[in-house]
Structures are given as structure tokens and as C-alpha cells.
């Protein structure tokens, strides 16, 4: 490949690293309800680590029918340049003590007494969570989306990524709710124009079936 194109590729990856951190900054400074130490944001920009998350998502997709779209999400995330995962640290064990009844338990004392769902394979988040606290994630995620938009970077937002990261244990232990945003600095957003059966038919499988598989025979015949 031409040297200048290789240089472009290196610079593009550097742009991903810098942009991910600027997006983290914006997500961190968004509004928070009920205090500090609520949300953390974690950057995953190593391709091998991204692949680990994708595989976990595919594993979860098989658990129940309503999660089958995790396969499609994983196929998109393989094309992402970096993942940002926002967590809510207090919604699991530390209700906001404002008795808002969003969780339906009337007051926070009742929510504290409520038994949580067990950590079964078909439970993504062990609710009931403090909904008031968990809403902080919305602010963090939208803050990140907003910054990415200002930087002109394509994004996709997936809860499947957050659920998989929680299950992998790569985000803080106290996390009750997590949600992920993927960014891509490419000419074509990998998160838009998604055909049906994207998990099976995507650029990767297309290249493999139509080019890689036929190329050795083509060489043999036309040599």
C-alpha cells in the first residue's frame, strides 16, 4: 500500500483515541440527579477487547428470543473503532432517598427491602434498580452523543454492549445499569443502513464469500 495511505490509517486511529477521550469528557460533565460518584465512563479502543465484548453479546443473544438482536449489534460493533460504556454505580444498592416512586415501591425504604432478581443468565440487570439514579445514564449517553455530533463522528448506542460488559466484569463491581456507545471514524457509518440479517450478511461475510473464497481458484485457473 502507498505510504501516504498507511499514514492516513495511523492518523485515523490516533483521531479515534483523542475523540473517545473528548467524548468521555462531555459525558462526564452532563447533568446528574442526586449527587456525585454516580456514573463512570469506560473506553475500550483495543480491537481485541472490542472482539471480546462482541463475542459476549453473541453468547447472550442465544439466551432468549427477545435478545436475538444482540447478534446484529455485535456485527455492527465489530466495525466500530472504539466503545464507550457508561455505568450507573448507585442505582443498585444506594437509592436516591427522595421517595419518587418511579420504581413503584412508593418510598426508598421499601425499595431497599425488596429482593433483587437473581444473577441468572436471562437477567441482564438485577432489578429493581433505583430508576431515578439509573436515569443519569441517559444524561451521560446523550452528552456523549452530542459531543460526537459536534466532532462530526458517527455513533451508535446499544444497551446490549453495556449488559455484556457487566457480565464480563470489565466495569466497576457496583454497576447496576450500563449502556454503551460505539464511535466510528470512517467514511461510511457502520451503524446506519443496516440490512436485514445483518448478523449473517455484512461486509465481513460478503468479502469472505465473494472474494476470499473464490480468489485461490481464480489464481489457479488464470495462472
Residues 120-159, interacting with other proteins (CB under 8 A): 122-129, 131-132, 134-139, 141-143, 145-146, 157, 159
Distance CA 136, CA 131 (A): 9
Residue span 22-61 as binding mask against other proteins, x where in contact by CB under 8 A, dash where not: --------xx-x----------------------------
Distance CA 63, CA 1 (A): 43
Closest by CA position to 152, among listed 190, 189, 194, 193: 189
Which among 4-12, 72-80, 100-108, 184-192 is the span making contact with other proteins, rule CB under 8 A?
100-108
106 near other proteins (CB under 8 A): yes
Q: Is 158 helix (H, G, I), strand (E, B) or coil?
A: strand
Contacts of residue 147, defined as CB under 8 A and 6 or more positions apart, other chains included, come to: 22, 23, 25, 26, 27
Q: How far is the CB of 39 from other proteins (least distance, A)?
A: 12
109 near other proteins (CB under 8 A): no
C-alpha grid cell, residue 153: 463522528
Distance CA 23, CA 202 (A): 28
C-alpha grid cell, residue 196: 436485514
C-alpha grid cell, residue 23: 467524548
Which among 47-55, 116-124, 197-205, 215-223 is the span making contact with other proteins, rule CB under 8 A?
116-124
99 near other proteins (CB under 8 A): yes
192 near other proteins (CB under 8 A): no
The residues binding other proteins (CB under 8 A) are 30-31, 33, 64, 66-67, 98-106, 114, 116-117, 122-129, 131-132, 134-139, 141-143, 145-146, 157, 159, 163, 176-177, 179
Amino acid at each position: 500500500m502507498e505510504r501516504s495511505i498507511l499514514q492516513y490509517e495511523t492518523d485515523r486511529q490516533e483521531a479515534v483515541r483523542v475523540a473517545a477521550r473528548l467524548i468521555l469528557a462531555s459525558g462526564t460533565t452532563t447533568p446528574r440527579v442526586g449527587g456525585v460518584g454516580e456514573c463512570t465512563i469506560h473506553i475500550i479502543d483495543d480491537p481485541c477487547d472490542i472482539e471480546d465484548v462482541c463475542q459476549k453479546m453473541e453468547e447472550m443473544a442465544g439466551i432468549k428470543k427477545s435478545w436475538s438482536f444482540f447478534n446484529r449489534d455485535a456485527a455492527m460493533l465489530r466495525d466500530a473503532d472504539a466503545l464507550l460504556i457508561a455505568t450507573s454505580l448507585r442505582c443498585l444498592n444506594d437509592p436516591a432517598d427522595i421517595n419518587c416512586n418511579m420504581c413503584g415501591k412508593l418510598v426508598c425504604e421499601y425499595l431497599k427491602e425488596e429482593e433483587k432478581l437473581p444473577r441468572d443468565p436471562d437477567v441482564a440487570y438485577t432489578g429493581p434498580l433505583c430508576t431515578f439514579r439509573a436515569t443519569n445514564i441517559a444524561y451521560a449517553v446523550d452528552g456523549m452523543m452530542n459531543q460526537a455530533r459536534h466532532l462530526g463522528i458517527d455513533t451508535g448506542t446499544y444497551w446490549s454492549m453495556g449488559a455484556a460488559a457487566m457480565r464480563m466484569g470489565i466495569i466497576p463491581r457496583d454497576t447496576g445499569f450500563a449502556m454503551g456507545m460505539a464511535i466510528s471514524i470512517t467514511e461510511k457509518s457502520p451503524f446506519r443502513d443496516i440490512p436485514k440479517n445483518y448478523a449473517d450478511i455484512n461486509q465481513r461475510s460478503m468479502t469472505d464469500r465473494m472474494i476470499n473464497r473464490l480468489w485461490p481458484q481464480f489464481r489457479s485457473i488464470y495462472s
